[in-house]
């Protein structure tokens, strides 16, 4: 297969695939009150739709990656996108809460197959010296969905009803499907190996340490993001009007972070960039802690915004080097390793919500950055050990392209 350049359109298709999946995951957060009213359940019960999606994704991603490892990558992505669009259309027509819950499970199962496949395709199609930036572009698709999904859902829900948001996701997915059918090149699946051999690869300490770092890093990062409202209130005294700009700042910084850290990975190697990103997340979490402890609740909003911008850059920036590191450690089991790692991301998100809620209830918003700093330090220690025991080298232009090898 000839080498494909990053301008041929396939990378945009993979990034948009990640954006569609991320939007579907997050859009529902802005729809919970409308769903609760329409289906006659409480907002707390409606919130379980978010929980079940995350848990299903986390549990299902690794076995689904093993089950689909030998499937041709292009066909897998196209079929997955078609099913994802159909699932969202059915979701929009759900007559009861039980049907809606079932469709969230179905959507999560499809998403758990699509996202790792998109990451692995990006890494395999890109020339070795551009692997980091290709993976970073796909990660940026998820990051952009993070700060666009909730407001898009809230806007559509208020203007046209909550069902319109899922119709919009289905239409977006259909557009991505059409573009992908035209622009994605064929790519074979992994070499034929037994399930036991695949699971043995996933159980290697080198991979498990990376996934542990992802769980802890996601717990540190998403705890601050999830409870940004009480943090803002306790640190600055500002309420609702300040939140939207701060969330936008975090999201924009996160998108830039994923892209630039991907490029840095190609220049300096995944290990160095990964440790720098974790270090940046810890440093900025510590800065937020100082603002909470010594700012007397009157820190300027612009100061908080500057710290959150740096924090968002690092907190989302670690995705690209982490995925690049996993791909180099996993060899032929790259897709399965990415699936395991993405599942770890969702586990960290769930833990962040639970732990952060407990902290807010006991110590208020100012206590969240302190706990996040402690968790971040532990994550940095885990990744420092991982890099020391299982180092990876930066790819060089002299290495043959994965696309050529296929």
d(CA 207, CA 327): 10
Same-domain pairing of 92 and 222: no
Do residues 215 and 77 share a domain?
Answer: no
DSSP string, 110-171: HHHHHHHHHHHHHHHHS-GGGHHHHHHHHHHHHHHHHHHHHHHHHHHHHHH-HHHHHHHHHH
Q: Determine contact, residues 66/199, Cβ cutoff 8 Å.
A: yes
Domain contains 183: yes
Return the pLDDT at 371. Answer: 94
Q: How many domains does the chain have?
A: 2
List phi, psi (to 5°) of 386: -60, -45
Task: Say yes or no: 220 and 367 in one domain.
Answer: yes
- 299 and 367 fall within a common domain: yes
Q: Considering the domain boundaries, does residue 400 fall inside one?
A: no
Are 203 and 72 members of one domain?
no
| Per-residue pLDDT at 16 | 94
pTM of this structure = 0.78
Residue 404 lies in a domain: no
Q: Which domain holds residue 215?
A: 192-395
Half-sphere exposure of 39 (CA within 13 A, CB side): 28
Same domain, 158 and 196: no
- The answer to whether residues 245 and 305 touch, using CB atoms and an 8 Å cutoff, is yes
Whole-number pLDDT of residue 406: 34
Q: Comparing C-alpha atoms, which of 277, 13, 268 is closest to residue 134?
A: 13
Q: What is the CATH number of the domain that holds 145?
A: 1.20.1250.20
Distance CA 115, CA 308 (A): 27
Nearest C-alpha neighbor of 257 from the set 219, 312, 304, 321: 312
Sequence length of the chain is 406
Do 123 and 219 fall into the same domain? no
Low-confidence ranges of the chain (pLDDT < 50): 1-7, 194-195, 396-406
Is the separation of the CB atoms in 242 and 301 below 8 Å?
yes
Cβ atoms within 10 Å of 314's Cβ, excluding its own: 25
Residues 182 and 201 both lie in one domain: no
Determine the Cα–Cα distance for residues 339 and 218; give it in Å rounded to an integer.
15
* Whether 330 and 268 share a structural domain: yes
Question: End-to-end alpha-carbon separation of the chain, Å?
Answer: 6
Are 229 and 259 within one domain?
Answer: yes
Same domain, 165 and 233: no
b/e burial code for range 128-162 (CB count within 10 A of at least 16 → b): bbbbbbbbbbbbbbbbbbbbbbbbbbbebbeeeeb
pLDDT at 151: 74
Q: Are residues 94 and 198 in the same domain?
A: no
pLDDT at residue 109, as a whole number? 95
Any domain includes 403: no
Residues 39, 291: Cα–Cα separation, whole Å? 42
Of the candidates 189, 211, 235, which is a domain's last residue? Answer: 189
Sequence-separated (6 or more) residues with CB below 8 Å from residue 361: none
């Amino acid at each position: 297969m000839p080498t494909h350049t990053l301008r041929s359109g396939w990378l945009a298709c993979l990034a948009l695939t990640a954006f569609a999946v991320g939007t579907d995951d997050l859009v529902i957060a802005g729809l919970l009150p409308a769903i609760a009213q329409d289906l006659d359940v409480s907002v707390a019960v409606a919130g379980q739709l978010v929980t079940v999606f995350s848990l299903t994704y986390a549990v299902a991603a690794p076995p689904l990656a093993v089950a689909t490892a030998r499937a041709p990558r292009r066909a897998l992505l196209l079929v997955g996108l078609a099913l994802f669009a159909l699932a969202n259309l059915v979701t929009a027509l759900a007559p009861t809460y039980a049907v809606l819950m079932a469709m969230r499970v179905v959507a999560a199962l499809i998403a758990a197959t699509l996202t790792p496949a998109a990451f692995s395709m990006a890494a395999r199609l890109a020339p070795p010296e551009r692997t980091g930036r290709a993976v970073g572009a796909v990660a940026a698709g998820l990051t952009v969905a993070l700060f666009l999904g909730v407001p898009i859902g809230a806007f559509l829900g208020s203007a046209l009803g909550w069902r319109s948001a899922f119709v919009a996701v289905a239409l977006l997915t259909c557009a991505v499907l059409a573009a992908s059918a035209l622009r994605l090149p064929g790519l074979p699946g992994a070499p034929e190996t037994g399930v036991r051999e695949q699971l043995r690869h996933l159980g290697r300490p080198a991979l498990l340490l990376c996934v542990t770092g992802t769980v802890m890093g996601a717990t540190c990062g998403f705890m601050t993001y999830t409870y940004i409202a009480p943090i803002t209130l306790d640190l600055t005294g500002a309420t609702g009007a300040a939140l939207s700009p701060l969330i936008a700042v975090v999201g924009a910084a996160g998108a830039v972070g994923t892209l630039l850290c991907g490029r840095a990975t190609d220049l300096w190697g995944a290990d160095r960039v990964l440790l720098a990103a974790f270090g940046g997340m810890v440093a900025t979490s510590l800065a937020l802690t100082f603002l909470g402890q010594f700012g007397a609740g009157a820190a300027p909003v612009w100061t908080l915004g500057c710290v959150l911008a740096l924090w968002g850059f690092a907190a989302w920036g670690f995705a690209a080097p982490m995925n690049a590191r996993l791909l180099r450690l996993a060899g032929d089991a790259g897709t399965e390793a990415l699936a395991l790692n993405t599942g770890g991301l969702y586990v960290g998100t769930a833990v962040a919500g639970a732990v952060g809620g407990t902290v807010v209830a006991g110590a208020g918003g100012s206590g969240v950055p302190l706990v996040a700093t402690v968790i971040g330090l532990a994550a940095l220690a885990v990744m420092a050990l991982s890099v020391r025991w299982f180092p990876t080298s930066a790819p060089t232009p002299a290495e043959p392209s994965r696309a050529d090898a296929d």
